[in-house]
Structure 1
Amino acid sequence: MTYPTTEAGKREILFNAFDMNCVVHQSPGLWRHPDDRAREYNTIGYWTEVAQILERGLFDGLFIADVLGPYDVFGSNPDAALRSGAQIPLQDPFLLVSAMAAVTKNLGFGITAGTAYEHPYPFSRRLGTLDHLTGGRVGWNVVTGYLPSAAQNMGQDDQMEHDRRYDHADEYLEVVYKLLEGSWEDDAVVADKASGVFTDPEKVHRIEHHGEFFKTPGIGVVEPSPQRTPVIYQAGASTRGRAFAGKHAEAMFINPPTKELAKASVAKIRQSVADAGRDPYSVRIFAMQTIVTGPDNDAAQAKYDDLTQYIDAEGGLVLMSGWMGIDLSQFDLDQPIGDVKSNAIQSTVETFQKASGREDEVWTVRQLAEWVGVGGFGPVIIGDGPSAAQQLIEWQEETDVDGFNLAYHITPGTFEDVVEHVVPELQRLGRYKTEYAPGTLRNKLFGAGDHLPEDHHGAQFQLRRKG
C-alpha cells in the first residue's frame, strides 16, 4: 500500500474539514464576526449546508472533534470558557451524521468518541448503525480523554494515569472488533420469507470476552454493515499513543505548527506502524492547517487583518490552559514569557515564534493567546489560491503528510473560500482529485476494499468471509 495519486500520477492531497458541534472550536472570539454562522451549530440546516459545501469541494471527510466536560483549568473553573464560548456549550457529534449523510453521497465523517466513559457494547451498536445509515462513510476518532472535568463529572476523582488509559483503550477496541467483526457471519441474515427465518442463529456467535476491564460474553446486535468496523482515526502524540496508533489507526491527526515538527511526528508515526507489522503508508496522516484566502494576496491579507479584530485573548488562554494542563490565569497578559517559570509554556512559545518567523521578539502572554486566536495551535496560511496551494504542496513534500485537517476561522466561509480558490488550483497542478473514488470511506482512502486489511490488528477477530 502507498499514498494515493491523482490521474496525473502525482501525490494527492487529502482534505478533511475540522469542526466541532459548538460555537467556538479553534478560533476564540471569531463567532462575533458578522460573516460567521457558528451560532447556528444547534440547527440541522447549518450542518447539512456545511456537508454539501464540503462535498462540492470533494473533501474526503468532515472530522468532528469532541470533549466531554468543560475547559476549567484556566482559573480552576469553567467561567472563562463559558464567557468566551470556548468549546462550550457543546453537543453530541454523533447525532449530526445521519442528517448530513442524507444530503451527500460521498463525504466521509470522522466522529470523535472517548473510550473512558461508555461501555463498548452499546457504543459498537452506535458505530454499526451509523455505518449502515451512511453506506459505509463513517470513521471513529478514538480518544482516551484529557480533561479532568470529564472524569469528575462521571463520578471519578481524576482520569486514569496516561499509559493506563491506553491499556484500557486497547481492550475497549478489542471488544468492539469482536462485536463488529467476529459475531455475525456475512450471510447470517437470510431474510427467507418462505421459511419465516430472518437470521440464521447458527451464524451468529457469542464473543465470550472476559478481560481486565470488560466482560462481554454475548452476541453483537447489529448485522454486518458495509465496513463492519469504521475507519479508525487517532491523534495520540506520546510514545504510548504512537504505539496505540501503530496497532489500530488507519488515519492520524497531528497539529504541529512547523514543518520541522510535522516531519518528525510523521516519521515517528510511520515507524510505529511499521513496528506493528504494517505497511507504514497504511495510515493516512492529516496535519492541522488554517487557510485564509481570497481572490488575490492583498484580499487574503486584508481578510486576516479583519479577523484579528475579533480575537478573544481570554478564550485563547482557556484553550491553551486545557491543552497544556497549566492555569494561565495566574499570569498577567502583558507579562513577558521569559518571566514565566514554566518549561511547557516557554517551549510552546518558542515553537510559535519559529512558526511565525518572529524568533527574536520578546513574547507576552497576550501574544500567546492572540497567536491561537486564528486557527488554534496549528499553522495559518495566508494567500490567494495559487499561493495557498503551493504552500500546501510544500508542506506535503517536506513533511510526508497525506493531507490536512482544515480548521475554520469563520464558518462556513472558510470552507467556501477553500472550495472556490484553493481546490481548483490544486486540481490544475494535478495534486487533488477531480472526482470521488467509489465505495466506502475506507475504500476511498486506500482503494483496497471495504474491510480492515489483513495486517491490521482488528483483522484477527474477523470471521472467515465468504469466497
Structure 2
Amino acid sequence: MSTNPAPRQIRFNAFDMNCVGHQSPGLWKHPKDQSARYKDLSYWTDLAKTLEKGKFDGIFIADVLGTYDVFGGSNEVPLRTGAQVPVNDPLMLVSAMAAVTENLGFGVTASTSYEHPYPFSRRLATLDHLTKGRIGWNVVTGYLPSAARNMGQEDQLEHDERYNHADEYLEVVYKLLEGSWEEDAVVKDVERGIFTDSSKVHDINHEGKYFKVPGIAITEPSPQRTPVIFQAGTSSRGMKFAAANAEAVFVTCPTKDMLKATVTKIRDAAEAAGRGRHDVRIYAMQTIITDVDSAAAQAKFEDYKSYADIDGALALISGWMGVDLSTYGPDDVIGANVKSNAIQSSVEMFQQASGDDGNPWTIRQLAEWVGVGGFGPITVGSPTEVADKLIDWVQETDVDGFNLAYAITPGTFEDIVEFIVPELQARGAYPADYVEGTLRNKLFGKGDRVQDSHRAANYRFVNAGVK
C-alpha cells in the first residue's frame, strides 16, 4: 500500500464572457469556435450542462461597459477583430443556466462605478433566490476610460479612489442584504393576514461620502444573503480590498514563481485582516490545450495559433494596462516608468514578463502570448502531462485551482471535461462529486452565510445597531 499522501484536490472554474472571442482575439474565425453564438441562450445552457458534468465550481462571466479604444485612440481595432465587442450583459444569462443545472455556481461581473448599490443589491438578491444560493459577484471598479465617458464622466476616478468608492458601495450592499431584514421577518401567517412582520425590517440609515440610502432593502433574505464575493485586483490597493471582502480571488500570473508570490501576498493580507489564510479561494488563470496524446494536443495548439489576431491582442493589452501600445515598435519592451490608471497589476505583470533567456518580452512576444487564451499560462499536452503540470502548480504555489480560459468554445471546455477531469479524478486530485448546498458552502463547507471574520458579518442586524 502506498504511503504517499493524497494530492490536494484541484478546483476548476470556467472563464467566459457574453461576447465574441473573450481572451483569444481572432479565434472566432476558427471553424469549430462557437463564441459568435453568445447571443443564443442555448449556447449558455449547453455550456452550463457541460461544466456541471465536469464538476466545475462555476462559470465566471467577465464584463466591460466600454470598448478597448486605448490602442490607437480608436474603436476600429477592437471592432474589426472582435476584441470583447460586441458584448452583452452577463447577469441576464444566469437564470437560464441555473434552470438546467443543480450545482454549478455563477460568478457575474459588475462594476461599482456605474450603478447605484440600491437597485443592484436587489438584482443580486433576486439571482440568489432564483439559483437557490449559487450566485457570486465579481466586484470590479472599472478600468476602461470609454466606459467612464459614456456614463457622463470625463474619466475614471483615480485608481485608489475607485477602491475607496467601492468600499462604501459594498458597505451599502452589506447593510441592505445582511442588516435590514431579520432572519424571521417573513412569517406568512395566513390566520392573521401578516406576510412580513414589519417590526423586524429596518432602515439602514446609510449616509456616506458617495451614497445616501436611508430605507430598507425591498427583498427578503436570500439563501446566502450576501452572494459569494469574487475579486480580481492584485495591486496594493486591490489586495487590501480583497483582504476585507473577497472570498474568491482570480489572479493572472504567467510564471509559477510570480503565482507563488501573489498567492502568498493574498493569504498574508487575509490573515492581517483577521481572517484565515485559506478563507479565500484563489484561482489562477490557465488555458489548457489537450487531446488523446501529446502530438495531437500540440497540433491543435499550432492550429489555434494560426487564427490569433495580433492587433486584437494589442488592443486588449492596451486596455488592461491603460497604455497605448500603438506608440511602441514591435521589438520594444515596456519600460519601468509606465504610469497607469487602469489595471495596475497588469502593468506589473507585463513589465516583468520574460522568456526562458531572461530577457524582457517584446511587444510582439506579448501579443503572440495573449493571442491564445489571454495572459495566463498555456498548458499543452496529453491528459497525463496536463494533470502532472496542474498538480505541480498547486503543490508549489498553494493556489486552490484554475480559472480556465478557452481557445475555442465550447471545444476547449469539452476537452477538459473529457480528458483532464477523469485523469485528475483517477489520481484523487479532483472532486468526484459536488458538496451539497449553496455556492459558499460548496467552496468552504462552512454553511451558507459569510463567515464571522468577513467584513459583511459586521453589518448583520444583531451587530449593526440598526434601530
Q: TM-score, normalised by structure 1?
A: 0.94
Deviations 1:16-49 (A, max 9, x none): 0000000021011000000000010011000000
Change in Cα spacing, 1:109 to 1:258, as seen in structure 2 (3 Å) is same
- For 1:351 and 1:160, the matched residues in 2 are separated by 26
Aligned equivalent of 1:142: 139
User: Shift of residue 365 of structure 1?
Assistant: 3.2
User: Shift of residue 366 of structure 1?
Assistant: 3.0
Whether 1:230 and 2:227 are equivalent positions in the alignment is yes
* Equivalent in 324, 331, 355 of residue 336 of structure 1: 331
Amino acid at match of 1:393: I
Aligned equivalent of 1:438: 436
Aligned equivalent of 2:276: 279
Residues 288 and 378, structure 1, Cα contact 8 Å, conserved in 2:
yes
- For 1:173 and 1:86, the matched residues in 2 are separated by 30
User: Shift of residue 331 of structure 1?
Assistant: 3.3
Change in Cα spacing, 1:391 to 1:213, as seen in structure 2 (3 Å) is same
Deviations 1:85-141 (A, max 9, x none): 100000000000000000000000011111001010000000000000000000000
Amino acid at match of 1:42: K
Whether 1:152 and 2:153 are equivalent positions in the alignment is no
- For 2:49 and 2:348, the matched residues in 1 are separated by 40
1:148-227 aligned within 5 A: 148-227=145-224
Aligned equivalent of 1:292: 289
- For 1:10 and 1:370, the matched residues in 2 are separated by 34
Change in Cα spacing, 1:122 to 1:388, as seen in structure 2 (3 Å) is same
Aligned equivalent of 1:370: 368
Residues 350 and 359, structure 1, Cα contact 8 Å, conserved in 2:
no
Deviations 1:128-156 (A, max 9, x none): 00000000000000001111111111111
Residues 263 and 399, structure 1, Cα contact 8 Å, conserved in 2:
yes
1:312-391 aligned within 5 A: 312-332=309-329, 335-337=330-332, 351-354=352-355, 357=356, 359=358, 364-391=362-389
1:414-453 aligned within 5 A: 414-453=412-451
Amino acid at match of 1:337: D
- For 2:295 and 2:315, the matched residues in 1 are separated by 32
* Equivalent in 399, 402, 405 of residue 401 of structure 1: 399
Residues 35 and 410, structure 1, Cα contact 8 Å, conserved in 2:
yes
- For 1:449 and 1:326, the matched residues in 2 are separated by 43
Amino acid at match of 1:422: I
SS in 2 for 1:353: coil
Residues 257 and 351, structure 1, Cα contact 8 Å, conserved in 2:
no
Residues 253 and 349, structure 2, Cα contact 8 Å, conserved in 1:
no
Deviations 1:196-219 (A, max 9, x none): 111110111111111111110100
Aligned length: 452
Residues 206 and 218, structure 1, Cα contact 8 Å, conserved in 2:
yes
Amino acid at match of 1:127: L
Residues 258 and 351, structure 1, Cα contact 8 Å, conserved in 2:
no
SS in 1 for 2:303: helix
Change in Cα spacing, 1:242 to 1:346, as seen in structure 2 (3 Å) is closer
- For 1:324 and 1:34, the matched residues in 2 are separated by 31
Aligned equivalent of 1:306: 303
- The runs of at least 4 aligned residues of structure 1 exceeding 2 Å deviation read 340-354, 357-360, 362-368
SS in 1 for 2:408: coil
SS in 1 for 2:181: coil
User: Shift of residue 358 of structure 1?
Assistant: 5.2
User: Shift of residue 363 of structure 1?
Assistant: 5.6
Please, which runs of 5 or more residues in structure 2 have no aligned partner? Answer: 339-345
**Greater shift in the superposed pair: 363-372 or 420-429:** 363-372
The percentage of counterpart residues that share the same residue type is 61
Amino acid at match of 1:93: P
**Greater shift in the superposed pair: 188-197 or 287-296:** 188-197
Amino acid at match of 1:232: I
- For 1:358 and 1:137, the matched residues in 2 are separated by 45
